[in-house]
Amino acid sequence: PTKWVAKVRDLTCSSCARAIILKANMDGGHFGEGGRYKHCEETSLEYAFLIKAVGMLDK
């Protein structure tokens, strides 16, 4: 996945406003990290990114 993201970033025009991101969890294994609240933490990170990406924090 990291090589693919790097290639896409190289091929994307520099004036494009699209963010190409990759979140890698090197400790999670194939099925993700365990833990009672890990799913809630992952979901909250996704929501925080989306809120910032659409500019809701600026209002």
The number of folded domains in the chain is 1
Q: Are 20 and 8 in contact (CB under 8 A)?
A: yes
What domain range includes position 31?
Answer: 2-58
Radius of gyration of the chain (CA): 15
Q: pTM surpassing 0.75?
A: no
pLDDT in tens, 25-36: 777 777 766 778
> What are the tens digits of pLDDT across the range 1-59?
789 988 988 888 777 767 788 888 777 777 766 778 888 988 999 999 899 888 887 65
- From the list 43, 54, 58, 53, the residue with the least C-alpha distance to 21 is 53
